[in-house]
Structure 1
Amino acid sequence: MHSTNMKQKKFSLFPYLWKYKWYYLAGIVILLAVDAANLYIPQFIGEVIDGLTEGILDREGVLFLLVKIFTAGAVMMLGRFGWRFCIFGSARGIEYRLRNDMFGHLEMLSARYFNAHKTGDLMARFTNDLGAIRMAVGPAVVTAFDAIVMTVMVLMKMIWDVDFKLTVMAFVPLTLVAVGCYFYGIEAKKRQTRRQEAFSGLSDKVQESIAGIRVVKAFVQEEEDFRAFEKASENSMEKNLSMVKLRAMFGPALDTVTGISLLLTLVFGGKMVLAGQISIGQFVAFNSYIGMLVWPMIACGDCINNFSQAAAAFQRIASIFREEPDIVDKVPEDCVNRDVHIRGDIVLNHLTFTYPDGEDPVLRDVSLHVKEGEMLGILGRTGSGKSSLADLLLRVYDCEDGALLVDGRPITEFPLAVLHRDMAYVPQDNFLFSDTLEENIAFGLEERLRDHPQIRSSIKRAAKAACIHDNIMGFPEEYRTLVGERGVTLSGGQKQRSSIARALLMDASVLILDDSLSAVDTDTEEQILENLMELRRGKTTIIIAHRISTLQKADHIAVLTEGELTEYGTHEELVELKGFYAHIYEKQQLEQELTAM
């Protein structure tokens, strides 16, 4: 189903180009004026030479022709600024809008897409690939149009002002360029695709190594990591060199053809001057026109190179836009009712869930009921499905087998915006942005509210409830302290408590803590739990943990074993049951006693 939708959905650059149609039109008109002005300069120079040679041009006539040449030069100077402003500016605008749309579309995609695509590869599409598109809709468009127009106008000028036979003789060798350009374009596109893929791999390696530098150093893997980087760098260099080699062969071939054309012009044009068929001024102008034809021939190769790069980049960018989110609102956007609020009554009815790319269920026939205002604890070994349950409650994934009801309604009936607004979540991997602690804690609030004095006092209350306030006040900049990328300057416990403060500040109807106290000492954990009991009174809280001390104050505790609900009850009931929960409880009690001794 998903792959079919991908094939049906198409992406086009046309709407972006159409938005700047008048700028492109203005730029092309100005470009025509520049080309026309450029075309008359050789003619004026030829007239000066002939006039002086034949003695028919006086001082005033020379000055008049010089004024014409300077006027043409002024038109070219102003015109080049004009078409650059219109066309290059439009290309930048298209790049800007396309980048924004790409980022907005990525934010809509579901977890499945990001599980399958590396960060470095996506970053390469935002940099290298978008740059290739900009070059194609800007400089390459100018170059292609200018080359065609210049070629046609120069040929017409050569035929009308000089000689038809000489023009044909000089131009025939240049037609070989068109054949070469065709084959060059085919091969260039293949090599550009491989080059951009290699760049993506290199970007991903750099991003991954920098993000994991602490792990690399901790395991003394600097040399191994460097060799892996060197291999990715070498692959990128080889793919770049393959493109350079192709261009290196194409450039001299163009020069050779151009040289043949100039040689023919000198030989046969010189004979025509001696025979009196054309004047010296016409011969000089003709050679200038040949020089003007050289640039379009060279530009032809550059155009094909730019369009080949853009074609490869377009496919990679289009693949992002062809992706559709798996998790969407079941009602149209204009019919979404954001005024509805979740109370927090949650029912799982014979729920079975398998990840989209998995084969075996991670949850099997799970049924339980969390009443509004209750605290549910979830315990289980690693891989028992605890975090998968949190993913389903947040609609990171949808489950088709069984029922998941919120306030008596299927969870899919709630708009995603409402669901994420009324369900606060603290994940296992506590992610902090490279910003101040204050901004990280206030992340769930609208930006316009963050500087409000009342919100700042609420931030401090949430930080106190999460037992991070005293730590923050010990930092030099207090709440204005920058935490570095992914919160690298904080300890694991500080990151966890900052994430808890962020969730508490939202004051959501449902709070999900996914093993969020694992890096906190027992005394701090007890204080945080007491604060939660006080702050979350009347609101639903779900705590996933491995420590019994985190769960024993919950109203009910669910024990998951390999995706199945094997035990359910209060702390006292589960201890009396003498099952897995009681075994873990006794083991952890013994560990605490040994630690105390």
Structure 2
Amino acid sequence: MSTSARPSLRRVRGEERSLAEALRRLSPYLEGIRWRWGAGLASAMLAGLVALAIPQVIQQLVNSVLRPGGDASDVWTAVAIMTVLGVAEGALVYLRRVFILPPAAGVENRARVALFRRLQRLPVSFHDSWPSGQLLSRSVGDLSLLRRWIAFGTVMFVVSIVTIVVGLVLLFATSWVLALIYLAGAVPIMWRSFHFRNDFRAASRLSQDQAGDLATTVEESVHGIRVLKAFGRGGEALEGFRGQADTLRGTEVHKAAVLSKFISLIVALPETVIGLSLGVGIYLVATGDLTVGAVAGFFATTAVLAGPVESVGQLMGMSLSAKTAIDRHAEVMDTPVDIADPVAPRTGGATGIPGALAFRGVRFRYPDVPEGAEPLLRDITLDLRPGETMALVGLTGSGKSTLVQLVPRLYDVTAGQVLVGGRDVREYELVELRRRVSIAFEDSTLFSDSIRNNVLLGAPEQVLADPAAAQELLDLALDTAQAQFARRLPEGLDTEIGEEGLSLSGGQRQRIALARAIAARPEVLVLDDPLSALDVRTEEAVTRRLRSVLAGTTTLIVAHRPSTVALADRVAVLQDGRILDVGTHAELLARSADYRFIISSFEADRSIESVMDSGGITAMTGTEGDRA
């Protein structure tokens, strides 16, 4: 289960962006919040300036009280002024949060929705090559970091820099000698910040990528928990996870060490120069070149500057992590959508008879296969008549599942055409094409929702708008798929089936998935061996019911059983990426040795079929259940 044993994520990195370029990538999500961010920044800057005003009051107070004939009432005046300044600073900090936090959450939300929308549009080939944990970490962890940076990091980084600059001006106004000493500590910090930026950026990127890999492992282990338990491999899975977690911990420790070294430098140097400034300040007071109040004001100002100076390192680290998050977000958003609506989709009905399905000289090579490699499918030419049921048979690896996925454009042909209703599928808008074509897979994917919502997922909108019509369609789909068991669940059709429907058996999941495809009321129904977990009699009942209910629907079914093949109108034989022969089951048995060999490879299914026909399974188990 460890990802260390498999190739790392194929990352599609663009050119390294500067922080300013990364910020420009956020522009689509910043609409309507700039003025609020500006107001929050203004509030934060005013709060910083108010904090710097307090040392100036202290300076005047000390000089006033200590001067000959000083008035004690000045103390109360100074206390009142500092109280007002303190209240004002607190109010400004409150306003900063009021102005900044809601729009920052809005940016996170818009970016997350945009990412999810992009993931829905990206082709299946993208999802084949990207681990789901990486996408999860980008949609949750990275965008949460981005929100915190917008709400806190950006504002406080600007405020810290402005506070330091204004503070230095005040220090120079108080004593240029002491200010130069204090400023001398900044030179090593500036020199070190260049190396820190590069080191921390690399560590941050590695950490976020490793966190994504770790999320993938967790997801795989949770989804495969039954397999791990059944084979007693929980310990091995734990060791693999521990190795990944230790690697991530090491990266995080390294990242923390890089940051802590930089922070220690920007804390230690100012503190050291403050100590040196104190000695020089006392000397200047003794020589009469500086007042006691000036010294007090100088060190009160450095105390105010201590926070911004110390936070610069953390804020810089946060900014670099946010830049990495933006880059990772942009990697997904910049991935081209190879399967999209045509620029000028054709409107109106199909040019041929509705339900007609044809393949014309189709060649297909998976996108990640080198250009010179032999295509998986070669020169496929095949015609299905409207309303016809055609079985597609072939040995494992012949390309059957790949061929049927070309119909709803889950993949696009490398060459040739797939025609639905006489029109190239690439001329349809995707929504329109997938309204006409419905597909059910062998690996039945259900959602953490009710049976009702899972089945009606692809139902026509006009039907869903009418509760009575929706219920009628739901009942028809469940009855056709022999999924009456759903009504006997604890809450009937409103039963929540849990994540991916794992609370159901394999046969139950397949029948719900088939009902979902039926409820879409398509012109073309594509079945990628969706009945493999059913016993032969249930499969036969489902198939006969399909032919009755969807009499006008063209059906292309990937078959692995003689029983399925025998029920089809015609059979197409796929071998080595080519259509070898097409005919009825009887015709092919009579003339094709290759077909007879393929059928003979279904011997196990044929044995099961004979046992079922003789009532053997019923006698042994007392039930005709699913093969889970």
TM exceeding 0.5: yes
Q: How far 1:456 sits from its partner (Å)?
A: 2.5
The count of aligned residue pairs is 590
Q: How far 1:578 sits from its partner (Å)?
A: 5.4
Q: How far 1:56 sits from its partner (Å)?
A: 5.0
Tell me, yes or no, if the aligned pair for 2:392 and 2:557 is still in contact at 8 Å. Answer: yes
Q: TM-score, normalised by structure 2?
A: 0.88
Residues 4 and 55 (structure 1), Cα distance of their counterparts in 2 relative to 1, 3 Å cut:
closer
Q: Does 1:319 align with 2:346?
A: no
Aligned counterparts of 2:59 and 2:233: Cα–Cα separation in 1: 71
**Aligned residue number for residue 530 of structure 2:** 516
CA shift digits 1:362-409 (9 cap, x unpaired): 222222211111111112222122111111111112224333222222
**Aligned residue number for residue 85 of structure 1:** 98
| Structure 2 counterparts to residues 329-408 of structure 1, below 5 A | 329-332=341-344, 337=347, 343-358=354-369, 359-408=373-422
**Aligned residue number for residue 545 of structure 2:** 531
- Most deviating of 242-251 and 441-450: 441-450
Tell me, yes or no, if the aligned pair for 2:346 and 2:427 is still in contact at 8 Å. Answer: no
Tell me, yes or no, if the aligned pair for 1:372 and 1:539 is still in contact at 8 Å. Answer: yes
CA shift digits 1:502-526 (9 cap, x unpaired): 1111111111111011111122112
Q: Does 1:76 align with 2:65?
A: no
For 1:102, give the aligned amino acid. Answer: L
**Aligned residue number for residue 436 of structure 1:** 450
Q: TM-score, normalised by structure 1?
A: 0.92
Tell me, yes or no, if the aligned pair for 2:478 and 2:512 is still in contact at 8 Å. Answer: yes
Q: Does 1:114 align with 2:131?
A: no
Aligned counterparts of 1:419 and 1:23: Cα–Cα separation in 2: 44
Q: How far 1:329 sits from its partner (Å)?
A: 2.2
Q: Alignment partner for residue 243 of structure 2, among 224, 231, 236?
A: 231
Q: How far 1:585 sits from its partner (Å)?
A: 5.2
Q: Does 1:261 align with 2:276?
A: no
Residues 447 and 27 (structure 1), Cα distance of their counterparts in 2 relative to 1, 3 Å cut:
farther
For 1:491, give the aligned amino acid. Answer: S
**Aligned residue number for residue 593 of structure 1:** 610
Q: How far 1:336 sits from its partner (Å)?
A: 6.3
| Structure 2 counterparts to residues 88-167 of structure 1, below 5 A | 88-160=101-173, 162-167=174-179
Q: How far 1:285 sits from its partner (Å)?
A: 1.6
For 2:197, give the aligned amino acid. Answer: G
CA shift digits 1:162-203 (9 cap, x unpaired): 222222223222333222222211211121122122212211
For 2:368, give the aligned amino acid. Answer: D
**Aligned residue number for residue 22 of structure 1:** 35
Q: How far 1:280 sits from its partner (Å)?
A: 2.5
Tell me, yes or no, if the aligned pair for 1:548 and 1:585 is still in contact at 8 Å. Answer: yes
Residues 391 and 56 (structure 1), Cα distance of their counterparts in 2 relative to 1, 3 Å cut:
farther
Q: How far 1:572 sits from its partner (Å)?
A: 2.6
Tell me, yes or no, if the aligned pair for 1:543 and 1:551 is still in contact at 8 Å. Answer: no
Aligned counterparts of 2:461 and 2:219: Cα–Cα separation in 1: 28
Question: Identity of counterpart residues, as a percentage?
Answer: 28
Q: CA RMSD in A?
A: 2.6
CA shift digits 1:334-376 (9 cap, x unpaired): x664876981111222323222223332222222211111111
Aligned counterparts of 2:299 and 2:13: Cα–Cα separation in 1: 58
- Most deviating of 64-73 and 130-139: 130-139
Q: How far 1:124 sits from its partner (Å)?
A: 1.4
Tell me the SS of whatever aligns to 1:373. coil
Tell me, yes or no, if the aligned pair for 1:545 and 1:551 is still in contact at 8 Å. Answer: yes
Tell me the SS of whatever aligns to 2:489. coil
Q: Alignment partner for residue 456 of structure 1, among 459, 471, 482?
A: 471
For 1:592, give the aligned amino acid. Answer: E
**Aligned residue number for residue 568 of structure 1:** 582
Tell me the SS of whatever aligns to 2:572. strand
Q: How far 1:237 sits from its partner (Å)?
A: 0.4
**Aligned residue number for residue 621 of structure 2:** none
**Aligned residue number for residue 49 of structure 1:** 62
Gaps of 5+ in 1: none
Aligned counterparts of 2:12 and 2:304: Cα–Cα separation in 1: 51
For 1:54, give the aligned amino acid. Answer: R
**Aligned residue number for residue 513 of structure 2:** 499
Aligned counterparts of 1:14 and 1:532: Cα–Cα separation in 2: 51
Aligned counterparts of 2:195 and 2:445: Cα–Cα separation in 1: 50
Q: Alignment partner for residue 488 of structure 2, among 450, 457, 474?
A: 474
For 2:609, give the aligned amino acid. Answer: Q
Gaps of 5+ in 2: 1-10, 617-628
For 1:294, give the aligned amino acid. Answer: A
**Aligned residue number for residue 5 of structure 2:** none
Aligned counterparts of 1:135 and 1:280: Cα–Cα separation in 2: 42
Tell me, yes or no, if the aligned pair for 1:513 and 1:543 is still in contact at 8 Å. Answer: yes
For 2:403, give the aligned amino acid. Answer: L
CA shift digits 1:10-66 (9 cap, x unpaired): 982234346422122212222232122111112223333333333655465433322
CA shift digits 1:405-428 (9 cap, x unpaired): 222222211221111111111012
For 2:421, give the aligned amino acid. Answer: D
**Aligned residue number for residue 619 of structure 2:** none
CA shift digits 1:234-280 (9 cap, x unpaired): 11001001011112222222222022121122111122233333333
- Most deviating of 270-279 and 90-99: 270-279
Q: How far 1:306 sits from its partner (Å)?
A: 1.2
Tell me the SS of whatever aligns to 2:555. strand
Q: How far 1:430 sits from its partner (Å)?
A: 0.5
Q: Alignment partner for residue 33 of structure 1, among 35, 43, 46?
A: 46
CA shift digits 1:450-469 (9 cap, x unpaired): 78243123212211111112
Q: How far 1:104 sits from its partner (Å)?
A: 0.9
